Amino acid sequence: QSFKLLGFLDVKSVPCARESVLYGSLGSLVVGLGHFLATSRVRRSCDFAVGGFICTMLGYWFYCRYNLAQHRIRQRMLKEGMRNKILFEGSSLDPERKQIGNERSDS
């Protein structure tokens, strides 16, 4: 059973969607309650709460997606490095073999 926010955002399967909605609701509560305690205006505080929800949700969404993209890039680089290590190990193209050969010639 999946939960779709606004009918199109599948919170369960889209990365960062669940956390963004949760942090957005927390930001909404903090901003709305803080504005209400400061001014005692109910309608204006609700407007601020909606704005706080949108800003917090979008802010965390971009932050999370940026970190996810960085993680995937690092993962891809590591995977390629491991593949190259297996491919070139023991051959003349092995960088570690060249370093070991240079150290032996220095001593």
For the chain, the domains span 15-86
3-state class of 36 per DSSP?
helix
| pLDDT recorded at residue 55 | 94
3-state class of 41 per DSSP?
coil
User: pLDDT (tens digit, 9 = 90+) per residue, 51-69?
Assistant: 999 999 999 999 999 999 9
Q: What is the pTM of this model?
A: 0.69
Q: Is the pLDDT of residue 100 over 80?
A: no
Strand (E) or helix (H) holding 42: helix 42-88
Asked whether the beta carbons of 31 and 51 are under 8 A apart, the reply is: yes
Structure tokens at 67: 């970190």
Q: Is the pLDDT of residue 106 over 60?
A: no
Q: Which is more confident, 46 or 104?
A: 46
- The set of residues, in sequence order, having a beta carbon less than 8 Å from that of 33 and lying 6+ positions away, is 45, 49
